[in-house]
A and B are shown apart, each in its own frame.
Chain A
C-alpha cells in the first residue's frame, strides 16, 4: 500500500550567473492512499507533478514536507531505503536508458544479484519473470535486437525479479508503436490481475487510463479529479481546460448529448458507445 500524508515537494534551482535561488512548489499538500492490488492511472499535462509524485513512491525523491509510506515504511527513514526500493519497482519511459546488460537474461538477473539472492533462486526468478512478460524466447538475445515493446517488457521483468509488491511505471508506452503499446498494457494488466501487484501507471494516453480501476488527474501539483475512469472522464469540459484529452468515443457521446441526443455520459469504450448509439438510433435507415 502507498500512502502520502500532506506531501509537499519543492524544486530548488540556482541561477549559475546570479546565484539567485528560485523555489518551485511541485507538489502541494497531497494526501492519497493507493490500496494494495489496485491499478491506478495518473494523468496530467507536462509539469503537473505526476512524475514528481511517482518518484516519491520509491524514495528517488524525498518529501520537502509531509510523509510518504510504502507498505508502512517511511521514505525519510534512511535505513528503510533499500527495502522500499525492493518493494516498489520503477519502470521509465525510455527502455534504452535503463538497460545495463548485454543479454536479456543477464538484465533480469542484475537486480537479484545485487540483492545477494542465491544463484539457484536467481535462475528460478529469471525464468519466472521472463515467462511473466512473454519474453522467454529472447533470453539469450541482446537488448539491442529487440523492438521497443519487447525492451520495455524486459525492463518490467528486470523489476519483477526483485519481487516487488508495487510497480510504478512512468509513461512506459510513450516511445512505442501501437503494437508495442498493446503488448505492454496487456502485460501490466495481467501482472495486476494474476499476481496481485499494485500498479501505478503514469500516462498521457487516455485509452490506457480508462483501463485502470482508478484514475487520478493532477494539475499544478494538486489532485483535481480522482475516481473510477467513468467518473473522471465524465468531466469533459474540465479535462479539456486542463489540456488533457478524453477518449474519442467519450468525446463523441459528449458532443451528441450537447445537441440533445439521449446518450449516457459515462461512455469509455467503443463497445459501450456502439450499444448506446444502437439504442438511440434504433435501426435508423437500415
Chain B
C-alpha cells in the first residue's frame, strides 16, 4: 500500500525560482489497484511519482510504502526502490546493453540473484511483454520504437516490484504500439493480484479504457480522486483545469443536454454505439 500524508514539496528552496510543486497531498493506494494519474504539464504528476520510490523526499509530510516510512532517517531506501519500479518517459532511451537479454537481466543481476533465477525472470518478463525468444539475442537498438519500450518495461518488471509506475508509457507510439502497451498493463493487472500499477497519461481515451481509479492533479494538489465514472462525470471541472473527457463522452453529453435519454457513464465507442442503437431501436418501433 502507498500512503501519503500532508506531503509538500518545494523546488529550489530559497532561490529566485522557488516553486511549490506539491501541496498537501493526502492519498492512499491499495494493493492490487490500477490507477491513472492525469494533469496538465507542471501539475505535479512527475514530482509525485518520484516520491513513491524515494527519488525525491517530501519537504514536509510523510510517505509510506508497504509500511516503510520513506521519510524516516533509517529507512531502507534500497528496499523501497526494489519494491517500487519506475518506468520513465521514453524509457527506450535508457537501453544500453548489447542484447535484449542482457538489458532485461541488468536489474535482477544487480539484486545479486543466482544465474538460474535471473534467467527465469528474464524469460518470464519478456514473455509477459510479448517479446519473442528470438529477439532476446538481438541488439535492442535494432528493434522498433514500440518493441524497445517493451524491453525497457520488461527490465523493470524483472525486478518483481510490488509497485509498477509508468510515466506516459504510450507517448510517441503509433496507435498499434499504444494499444499493445495498454493491453499489457491490463494483463499485468489481472495476473498480479497484489501489484499496484500506476500510469501517467495525457490521453483521456487511454485512461477511460484502462484504469480503474483516477487521480487528477492540478497545480500541485489532488483535485479529484475516484473511479473512472466519478472523475469523468465532472467534465466541466476537468476542462477548467486544462484537461478533457474522451471525445465520445463529449458527444454523448451533448446528446444528453439535447434531451436524449442516454446513460451517464459512456467512455468508449462500443458503449456509445450500444446506447444509441437502443435509442434508435425505440424510434423504429414507434
Chain A, residue nearest B242 (CB): A179
Q: Which one, B61-69, B103-111, B253-261, is touching chain A? A: B253-261
Chain A residues 164-200 with CB under 8 Å of chain B are: 171, 174-180
Chain A CB within 8 A of B15 CB: no
B144-180 near A? 1/0 per residue, CB < 8 Å: 1110000000000000000000000001111111000
What total of chain B residues lie within 8 Å of the partner, measured CB to CB?
42
Chain A CB within 8 A of B226 CB: no
Known: A147-B41, A285-B261. A175 touches B145 (CB 8 A): no
A47 touches B144 (CB 8 A): yes
Shortest Cβ distance from B167 into chain A, in angstroms? 12
A249 touches B172 (CB 8 A): no
CA of A277 to CA of B272 in the docked complex: distance in angstroms?
A: 12
Q: Which one, A108-116, A128-136, A239-247, is touching chain B? A: A239-247
B103-144 near A? 1/0 per residue, CB < 8 Å: 000000000000000000000000000000000000000001
CA of A176 to CA of B248 in the docked complex: distance in angstroms?
A: 21
Partner of A281, one of B89, B204, B283: B283
B269 touches A177 (CB 8 A): no
Chain A CB within 8 A of B202 CB: yes
**Residues of chain B within 8 A of A248, CB atoms compared:** 205, 246-248, 251, 269
Q: Which one, B76-84, B186-194, B274-282, is touching chain A? A: B274-282
A251 touches B145 (CB 8 A): no
A46 touches B177 (CB 8 A): yes
Chain B residues 213-233 with CB under 8 Å of chain A are: none
Q: Which one, A32-40, A71-79, A255-263, is touching chain B? A: A255-263
Chain A, residue nearest B261 (CB): A285
In terms of DSSP, what is the predominant structure of the interface of chain B?
A: helix
A179 touches B175 (CB 8 A): no
Chain B CB within 8 A of A284 CB: yes
Chain A CB within 8 A of B243 CB: yes
Partner of A277, one of B40, B42, B177, B255: B255
Partner of A148, one of B41, B248, B259: B41
A259 touches B247 (CB 8 A): no
Chain A CB within 8 A of B273 CB: yes
Known: A245-B175, A285-B279, A286-B259. A178 touches B272 (CB 8 A): no
Partner of A284, one of B175, B248, B250, B282: B282
CA of A47 to CA of B173 in the docked complex: distance in angstroms?
A: 11
B171 touches A174 (CB 8 A): yes
Shortest Cβ distance from A176 into chain B, in angstroms? 7
**Residues of chain A within 8 A of B282, CB atoms compared:** 284-285
B172 touches A174 (CB 8 A): yes
Partner of A178, one of B144, B177, B244, B283: B244
B17 touches A145 (CB 8 A): yes
Contact sample, A vs B, 16 pairs, CB 8 Å cutoff? A45-B174, A46-B177, A149-B41, A174-B172, A179-B41, A244-B175, A247-B247, A252-B248, A256-B273, A270-B250, A270-B251, A280-B280, A280-B283, A281-B280, A283-B259, A284-B280
Beyond the given pairs A204-B175, A270-B254, A274-B254, 12 more chain A to chain B contacts, judged by CB atoms under 8 angstroms and listed by A's residue number, are: A45-B174, A45-B176, A147-B41, A176-B202, A243-B175, A255-B270, A256-B276, A256-B277, A270-B247, A280-B280, A280-B283, A285-B260
